Amino acid sequence: MDAKDISYAVIKRLPRYHRYLRDLMDEGVERISSGELSRRMHVTASQIRQDLNHFGGFGQQGYGYNVAYLYSEISKILGLDSDHPMIILGAGNLGHTLANYSGFDMCGGRLIGIFDVNPALQGKKIRGVEIRMMKELPEFLRSHRTEIAVLTLPRSYAAEATAILVENGIRAIWNFAHVDLDVPDNVIVENVHLSESLMTLSYNLTEYRKKHEE
């Protein structure tokens, strides 16, 4: 199965299927019908059939989906079976949190370096990985194959750090800095703008309050 035959809308739903399938495996469930998966995921059975039939893994009527097979196919499509060497820029609270984040292992992420601008952090270790100074970054990137950079630096440092990453061939940036990064088309940026998420919550709360206090 080639991923280019699958629409982006389906791709965006795959991580959620991946999560539910892993839970099923943890529970020892070997196969599941679209109806049962529909009840668990609060998605229509017809949507599930449309999405998952891209991946095969279903037998005759009444058998249902083979959980382990589907999980493995979805993992491959998402690239979770590959090794992604990664670095974290910024060893503050969020950098620490992400360095210890178990989700990386599941996604093939392998932490090989942590960088900061604060000299007090130099040589300290997080999860066995030494904190280096930002000025060492260009040389590090030239000598270590690195695919993903996780950006948790304050926004005032983000543009300069991004320029160094791009110059040295970084392909993907997971951006937690509260700023839009200026990168060429061949560099992938995935933003996690926490404050935008919180503002959406604040908006919905305000609307709810208006409706019920009017």
Min separation Cβ 3 and a second copy, Å = 6
Among residue numbers 103 through 142, which ones bind a second copy (CB under 8 A)? 103-104, 106-109
Instruction: Give CA–CA dist 75/82, Å, rounded.
Output: 9
Of 19 and 125, CB closest to a second copy: 19
190 touching a second copy, by CB under 8 A: yes
Distant-in-sequence, close-in-space partners of 192: CB < 8 Å, separation ≥ 6:
174, 175, 176
210 touching a second copy, by CB under 8 A: yes
The 7-36 site mask, x for binding a second copy (CB under 8 A), equals: ----xx-xxx-xx-----------------
Stretch in the footprint of a second copy (CB under 8 A) among 51-59, 60-68, 156-164, 172-180: 172-180
Instruction: Give CA–CA dist 119/132, Å, rounded.
Output: 9
Task: Out of 32, 48, 52, 77, name the contact with a second copy by CB under 8 A.
Answer: 77
Instruction: Give CA–CA dist 88/66, Å, rounded.
Output: 37
Number of residues in the chain: 214
- The answer to whether 136 touches 152, Cβ cutoff 8 Å, is no
**CA–CA–CA angle 193, 198, 201 (5° rounding):** 135
Min separation Cβ 203 and a second copy, Å = 5
Instruction: Give CA–CA dist 61/101, Å, rounded.
Output: 40
Min separation Cβ 62 and a second copy, Å = 28
| Both tokens assigned to 55 | 């991946």
If you ran DSSP here, which 8-state letter would residue 144 be given?
A: S
Which residues form the interface with a second copy (CB under 8 A)? 3-4, 11-12, 14-16, 18-19, 41-42, 77-80, 82, 84, 93-94, 96-97, 100-101, 103-104, 106-109, 147-148, 171-172, 174, 178, 180, 186, 188, 190, 192-210
